[in-house]
Amino acid sequence: MRLAIAVLVLWTGVAAAQDDAPVLRPVARGTYVPPPIMRPVARPHERPAMAHGAHTKAEARAERGMFAISPYAVFGSLRPAKRPGSIERAATERRLARLRGQVCNDIAIQGQSLGRVEGPGACGVSNAVRVRSVAGVALRPAATMDCRTAAALKRWINRGAIPSVGNEGGGIASLRVVSHYACRNRNNAANGRLSEHANGRAIDIAGIGLQDGSEITVLSGWGSNADGRQLRQMWRAACGPFGTVLGPEANRFHLDHFHFDTARYRSGSYCR
């Protein structure tokens, strides 16, 4: 009798435990079973002490009560000292001087506007300028030409002359000009066609002056090992910005200088 009672009590406890446990039942295919609802639990966190690090300096008064100021924070950003007024005035004067001296609406071309330059016969230059420097390179002497020729000279100096010379002698300082505007025929002949010089569309350059006072000359440097490579690079670089490019190998009239002009040909630039 006691054994039967014990078995009955044990079976009742197991049944009760099974009633409390979740029942796992198979779910028919295609039936949606919503997932259990998961709710976030707030994590404990520390709040900064408002009093720690707070101070009464003027730059922090507006921030008191909002957050604690670190004792390691700087009170103000470091700023460079203001540039002296004399330096700013000198820079402004240089800028204005360049603006006053620019021609052809290009600050890199410095000189003087001449307007219409009259000449005998078909000679003359419309909207002529006397250029004293181009891209920081001085013309010695200043040369009279039109703006299209001045712009072509600027491209050649920037893309040809300056890169060809590089840092030799400190770089280019000047160009020695042996001819610019002149009412004459080609090659100074008594007869024949007018030269492009007669209309301000040409310039002849015999030497490239360097910052250290030395000079690369076309006459002595063209066939030399020292300067021949650089002079040929300059000659090639002019073929494109200019319509006609003549050097020492063109003829006997150009043994000592480069001739550049802005004449245009249907077949393209003429370079010899």
Q: Which residue, chain included where needed, has tokens 């204005």?
A: 96
Cα of first residue to Cα of last residue in the chain, in angstroms, is 133
- The per-residue pLDDT for 14 is 45
Q: Report pTM.
A: 0.65
Which residues, 6+ apart, have CB-to-CB distance to 245 below 8 Å? 235, 238, 239, 258, 259, 260, 269, 270, 271, 272
What are the φ/ψ torsions at residue 143 (nearest 5 degrees)?
Answer: -115, 140
- The per-residue pLDDT for 92 is 83
Q: What is the largest CA-CA distance in the chain?
A: 154
Query: Would you report the helix, strand and coil content of the chain in percent, each value rounded to 5?
Result: 30, 25, 45
C-alpha closest to that of 53 among 37, 67, 71, 38: 71
- The per-residue pLDDT for 207 is 95
- The per-residue pLDDT for 62 is 52
Q: Tell me if 218 sits within 8 A of 176, measured CB to CB.
A: no
Angle value at C-alpha 170, between 165 and 172, nearest 5 degrees:
50
What's the sign of the alpha-carbon dihedral 230, 263, 173, 182? positive
Per-residue pLDDT of the chain (272 residues; tens, 9 = 90+): 555 444 444 445 544 445 555 556 776 777 777 777 778 877 776 665 555 445 555 555 555 555 555 666 666 667 778 888 888 888 888 777 777 888 998 889 999 999 999 888 889 998 999 999 999 999 999 999 999 999 999 999 999 999 999 999 999 999 999 999 999 988 888 788 889 999 999 999 999 999 999 999 999 999 999 899 999 999 999 999 999 999 999 989 899 999 999 988 867 778 98
For 109, counting Cβ atoms within 10 Å of its Cβ (0-12 exposed, 13-18 middle, 19+ buried), the class is: buried
- The per-residue pLDDT for 15 is 46
Q: Tell me if 263 sits within 8 A of 197, measured CB to CB.
A: no
